[in-house]
């Protein structure tokens, strides 16, 4: 029998958390992506009536910056005290491995404490809509809300439809810590709830993380319905590349690549998608890389030995599987692992692309694309990376100092990693965010981020 999930018998409920009277829709089951037999709970989505109630009752947080900071620190304390339940939900609702769940909780706590310590004295924008994705259903969800609250805004939050339970728990803890019910309200729902919350004149600004397409829809809806200059803070997709030249240390590069491409089952905006390897080392390098892939454990998120868990749902799985099938049919599949037979798994996969710049679509899963380049093609690779229009993360593996300078200056990306894995940010010192199609800036967890949640000073 498969190891049982933590809190195996527990059923959680998620529903709107509003300052006024709630009229949610019929509860729907929430699915565990690793186990078709497990529904960790149910969610009652927000109704159109709930959206109206939330908008009508939203009120900026009337407290000093120091008081807001104190309460946000209390929220961080409550997150830490509830770590067991949080890990269990992240495993069962989002398919997070235990190490990924630990890292996610730490990041959420870091955001809370950083924004608490830097709560601005400037006035709030008013009401802020925060829309978050399922891939960091606690960290990104919390980061957006904490920044908006630190600045004193009223927050209307819509979590991703796949991960309402962790959002419900988190907002419950915010209320328990002392954030007023009118200052943070939760509206679980599908895209239509997000659309309603980003096209209303009563909303003063929007923080969004998700796909580039949705960000564009939100921009259009805001321009039509909201005050001119209402801020949109968007973090979106990436087509993240890494260049490995023939001077790179292969053991170091291979380990960094496996982590960057396959941790979190490749479901990070920052994950490595396209690897460029210099042709004179390619054969031995690929052999080493596929060997390292073979050592990955693909399995149940709550087993401590698991490196790579499931993807979020069947829609994600089948979309990625189609992409892999096309590559297989074209003879470009280089390596593929086995997966468990139940649950929405995608095997870590390595695919050859037809040539430099041949990859144009983000595949949000554990799929790495590889192209080789010759010594006189380095600038062509750089141009291809920039031509995607995205600019989130970029990695470089080389031992040539001049090359570090040349390449890192030439590639447009918000976060650049040299001779290390292409993962993560450090709240406070290495904020995270992209350029071009990858986001609007400023970077989350950095000093400029909070100012976007505050009203610009009135013109003299
Ligand atoms: P992903 O590919 O990560 O699911 P999406 O952009 O589809 O990216 O979703 C990110 C978030 O945006 C989710 O909470 C989703 O419900 C929400 N969303 C989807 N469509 C819209 C829309 N038209 N307006 C506002 N929010 C939306």
Averaged pLDDT for residues 437-458: 86
Q: At what angle do helices 98-117 and 65-81 cross, to 10 degrees?
A: 160
Catalytic machinery residues: 235, 269
Lowest mean pLDDT among 65-74, 94-103, 438-447: 438-447
| Ligand 1 centroid, distance to 90 Cα (angstroms) | 19
SS3 13: strand
198 lines ligand 1 (CB under 6 A): yes
Q: Is ligand 1 within 6 A of the CB of residue 210? A: yes
Whose CA is closest to 35, among 73, 81, 61, 4?
4
Residue where the block lists tokens 């100012």: 451
Give me the pLDDT at residue 305, please.
93
For residue range 244-268, what is the model confidence (pLDDT) as tens digits?
Answer: 999 999 999 999 999 999 999 999 9
250 CA distance to ligand 1 centroid (A)?
A: 39
User: Does residue 1 carry a pLDDT above 70?
Assistant: no
pLDDT(183) > 50 = yes
Of 134, 209, 214, the one to substitute when testing ligand 1's pocket (max ligand atoms within 8 A of C-beta) is 214
Averaged pLDDT, 149-177: 98
Residue 360 — very low, low, confident or very high, per pLDDT cuts 50/70/90? confident
Beta carbons of 367 and 332 less than 8 angstroms apart: no
Q: Is the pLDDT of residue 2 over 80?
A: no
Confidence of residue 409 (pLDDT cuts 50, 70, 90): very high
Give residue-wise pLDDT tens across range 5-24: 889 889 999 999 999 999 98
- For ligand 1, what atom is nearest to the CA of residue 213? 6
What is the distance in A from the centroid of ligand 1 to the CA of 216? 11
Cα–Cα distance for residue pair 418/104, rounded to 1 Å: 23
- Strand, coil or helix: what is 140? helix
ipTM: 0.99
**Cα 27 from chain centre:** 26
CA distances from 192 to 147, 198, 454 (A): 24, 10, 27
- Residue 131 Cα to ligand 1 midpoint, Å, equals 7
Mutation probe of ligand 1 site: the residue of 210, 225, 365 with most atoms within 8 A of C-beta = 210
Q: Is the CB of 217 under 6 A from ligand 1?
A: yes
Does position 61 have pLDDT exceeding 60, yes or no? yes
Residue nearest to atom 27 of ligand 1 (CA): 191
Q: HSE of 317 in the Cβ direction (CA atoms, 13 Å)?
A: 17
pLDDT at residue number 10: 94
131 Cβ below 6 A of ligand 1 = yes
**Above 70 in pLDDT, residue 338?**
yes
What is the mean predicted confidence (pLDDT) over 392-407? 97
Q: Determine whether the shortest distance from the Cβ of 216 to ligand 1 is under 6 A.
A: no
Low-confidence winner among 213-217, 229-233, 414-418, 432-436 (lowest mean pLDDT): 432-436
pLDDT given for residue 6 in this prediction: 87
Atom of ligand 1 nearest to the CA of 218: 24
Q: What is the pTM of this model?
A: 0.96
pLDDT above 70: percentage of residues in the chain: 98
Ligand 1: which atom is nearest the Cα of residue 161? Answer: 16
Report the pLDDT value the prediction gives residue 3, as an integer from 0 to 100.
Answer: 64
């Amino acid at each position: 029998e498969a190891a049982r999930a933590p809190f195996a018998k527990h059923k959680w409920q998620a529903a709107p958390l509003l300052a006024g009277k709630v009229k949610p829709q019929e509860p729907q089951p929430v699915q565990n992506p690793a186990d078709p037999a497990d529904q960790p709970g149910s969610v009652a989505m927000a109704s159109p009536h709930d959206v109206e109630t939330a908008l009508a009752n939203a009120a900026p947080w009337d407290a000093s910056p120091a008081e807001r900071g104190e309460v946000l620190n209390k929220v961080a304390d409550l997150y830490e005290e509830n770590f067991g339940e949080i890990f269990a939900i992240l495993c069962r609702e989002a398919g997070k491995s235990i190490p990924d769940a630990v890292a996610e909780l730490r990041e959420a706590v870091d955001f809370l404490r950083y924004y608490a310590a830097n709560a601005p004295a400037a006035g709030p924008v008013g009401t802020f809509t925060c829309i978050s994705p399922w891939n960091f259903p606690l960290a990104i969800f919390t980061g957006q809300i904490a920044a908006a609250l630190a600045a004193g805004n009223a927050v209307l939050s819509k979590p991703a439809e796949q991960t309402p339970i962790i959002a419900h728990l988190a907002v419950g803890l915010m209320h328990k810590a002392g954030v007023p019910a009118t200052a943070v309200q939760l509206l679980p729902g599908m895209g239509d709830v997000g659309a309603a919350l980003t096209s209303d004149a009563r909303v003063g600004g929007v923080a969004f993380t998700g796909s580039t397409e949705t960000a564009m829809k939100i921009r259009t809806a805001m321009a039509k319905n909201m005050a001119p200059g209402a801020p949109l803070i968007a973090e979106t997709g990436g087509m993240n590349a890494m260049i490995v030249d023939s001077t790179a240390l292969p053991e170091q590069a291979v380990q960094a690549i496996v982590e960057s491409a396959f941790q979190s089952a490749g479901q990070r905006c920052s994950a490595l998608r396209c690897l460029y390897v210099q042709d004179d080392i390619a054969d031995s390098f690929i052999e080493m890389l596929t060997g390292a892939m073979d050592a990955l454990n693909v399995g149940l998120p709550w087993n401590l030995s698991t490196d790579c868990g499931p993807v979020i749902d069947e829609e994600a799985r089948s979309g990625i599987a189609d992409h892999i099938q096309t590559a297989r049919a074209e003879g470009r599949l280089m390596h593929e692992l086995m997966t468990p037979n139940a649950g929405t798994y995608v095997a870590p996969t390595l695919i050859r692309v037809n040539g430099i710049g041949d990859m144009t679509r983000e595949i949000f899963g554990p799929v790495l694309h590889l192209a080789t380049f010759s010594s006189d093609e380095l600038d062509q690779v750089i141009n291809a990376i920039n031509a995607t229009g995205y600019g989130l993360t970029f990695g470089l593996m080389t031992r040539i100092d001049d090359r570090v300078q040349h390449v890192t200056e030439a590639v447009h990306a918000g976060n650049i990693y040299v001779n290390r894995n292409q993962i993560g940010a450090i709240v406070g010192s290495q904020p995270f965010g992209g350029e071009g199609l990858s986001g609007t800036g400023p970077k989350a967890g950095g000093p400029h981020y909070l100012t976007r949640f505050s009203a610009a000073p009135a013109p003299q």
